[in-house]
Structure 1
Amino acid sequence: MRKVLGALAAVLLGIVAWESYKAVGDPDGTVVAGVRILPRSDDAAMPHVLDVVRRLARPELAGGRPVWQVLVDACLFTLGITTVGFLVGALVGLLLAVLMQRFRVAERGLLPWVVLSQTVPLVALAPLVAGWGGRIWPAWMSVSMIAAYLAFFPVAVGMLRGLQSPSPAGVELMRSYAAGWWRTLLKLRLPAATPYLFPALRLAGAAAVVGAVVGEISTGTRGGIGRLVIEYSREATTDPAKVYTAMLGAALLGLVVAGAVAALEFPLTRHRRKVLLP
């Protein structure tokens, strides 16, 4: 409940900050030495929050469905792509972490490349992935691969740190019981890695959403929220509130994914919390 109230307070604070800047900000933006350091606050650039909410209830096009229904369908489409990418990325990250923990030479050889992989611009990588797999699998799978590409990194790094977190005394105790590497992994390292795993999964979920949205935009995949962002941005001058509805949908999708991971975390870590209580 405390986290829910904190999230609601953060949303209200964001709305207050938005409306406050719109009330006192320069409609043409603040320019210093020829550089705009603060955005424009006119209705074309920053519509009122209430206008964005009202736009959700109006038809997307004349005689069409309301915008909120279009956004829900688009978010569900992107959610499916994100789920596939998240699962693939989490699995790859977990396997890499186990491999790097088991073999020190694998850690020295792979970890720099794992870190280096995240420096490649996603906008440049997405068309390449779409081109490589365009004749092998459907377009949505290319987007899932892009989402997995971003999702595997936090899981690999966080899980590696968790697997290496047991104290030397604990490892020596397992050896004294003649426990092999596999039993030590199951009985000691994996339970010790739980506090590191779920924060990594939350980051991976958010990264998968970003990868899916950017992938849809870069590959031109239709049906998802990323495509709506591009389509609605074309109407920025005539219907600015409509642009922000698509952005709002993408943000809510990220919150849904993060909330799903948090909901999975609670039952799996509840027993651990009870054990840690004095």
Structure 2
Amino acid sequence: MIAGLAVAALLWEGYKAAGDPEGTVLFGVRVLPRADDLSMPHLWTIGQRLADPEMTGGRPVWLVVLQACLFTLGITAAGFAAGTVIGLVLAAAMQRFRIVERGLLPYVVLSQTVPLVALAPLIAGWGGTLMPPWATVSVIAAYLAFFPVAVGMLRGLQSPSAAGVELMRSYAAGWWRTLVKLRFPAALPYLFPALRLAGAAAVVGAVVGEISTGTRGGIGRLIIEYSREATSDPAKVYTAMLGAALLGLLVAGAVSLLELPLMRHRRHVEVATL
């Protein structure tokens, strides 16, 4: 992850040094952004802006961004947890009943084609007074998070070989015992990549949900507020965008930390079985 950030920083500064201040135009269409200070501030300018006060005599920008990220992190965690549970239940149901898979899976895929910007106000309207604003945003985050979990887990639950399934049947193991002892362990290599995608999707859902519903206190709303000063203080906008990007990396990293002990235990069990 650190290497990836270093490469991104080098590409940013490299393009800023060699790129056209007016942008690269091909056949009358701008294919690369402008490289001027208004559109692409230097990274050290963004870092300096993080240390400066948000307003004269106010809190430093890094503290404002951190508090906004923590607010969005709580919303993301709730949406991620709900989306994960929904995805796991749907995957188990589709694996258990073939008719459920054939009837439900197309709609699960179709659900992700709905534009989130259009869906978020509808969810906020449906929630109305029943849910606080943060819960509405969590629902939006869960809506994006459940899909990779459901699809990835379904593929994982269907991954055991026919010989393994027949062996469990020879032991008179029912569906639940086969799920716990065979299918779920076999699905772990499929589950964790799906969880990383779900975590990133939950962050995107939370940020877009905050912007669409006008929920205050999070990093999504902060991006909108800072973007109003883009012409006079462009580095300030990038501080909020940097916070949102780091929040996504944090969630993905947390899932990876959870993966390490579970996958290590799985490898130990496989070695012991062999």
Offset of residue 276 of structure 1: 4.5
Task: Give the count of matched residue pairs.
Answer: 272
3-state DSSP of counterpart to 1:31: strand
Identity of aligned residues (%): 75
Offset of residue 275 of structure 1: 4.0
Residue 4 (structure 1) aligns with = none
Residue 74 (structure 2) aligns with = 80
Question: Given the alignment of the two structures, is residue 20 of structure 1 paired with residue 10 of structure 2, yes or no?
Answer: no
Offset of residue 273 of structure 1: 2.4
User: What are the within-5 Å matches in structure 2 for residues 73-222 of structure 1?
Assistant: 73-222=67-216
Residue 260 (structure 2) aligns with = 266
Q: Which moved more, 1:49-58 or 1:22-31?
A: 22-31
CA offsets per residue over residues 67-86 of structure 1, 9 Å max, x none?
00001100000000000000
Offset of residue 35 of structure 1: 1.4
- Distance in 2 separating the partners of 1:13 and 1:123: 31
Q: Which moved more, 1:181-190 or 1:88-97?
A: 181-190
Provide TM-score, normalisation by structure 2: 0.97
Offset of residue 34 of structure 1: 2.3
CA offsets per residue over residues 24-55 of structure 1, 9 Å max, x none?
11111122332111111110000000000010
Q: Runs in 1 of length 4+ with deviation above 6 angstroms?
A: none
- Distance in 2 separating the partners of 1:15 and 1:230: 24
CA offsets per residue over residues 64-121 of structure 1, 9 Å max, x none?
0000000110000000000000000000000000000000000000000000000000
Provide TM-score, normalisation by structure 1: 0.96
Question: Given the alignment of the two structures, is residue 252 of structure 1 paired with residue 246 of structure 2, yes or no?
Answer: yes
Aligned residue identity for 1:85: G
Offset of residue 135 of structure 1: 1.4
- Distance in 2 separating the partners of 1:11 and 1:181: 45
3-state DSSP of counterpart to 1:37: strand
3-state DSSP of counterpart to 2:138: helix
3-state DSSP of counterpart to 1:61: coil
- Distance in 1 separating the partners of 2:23 and 2:126: 43
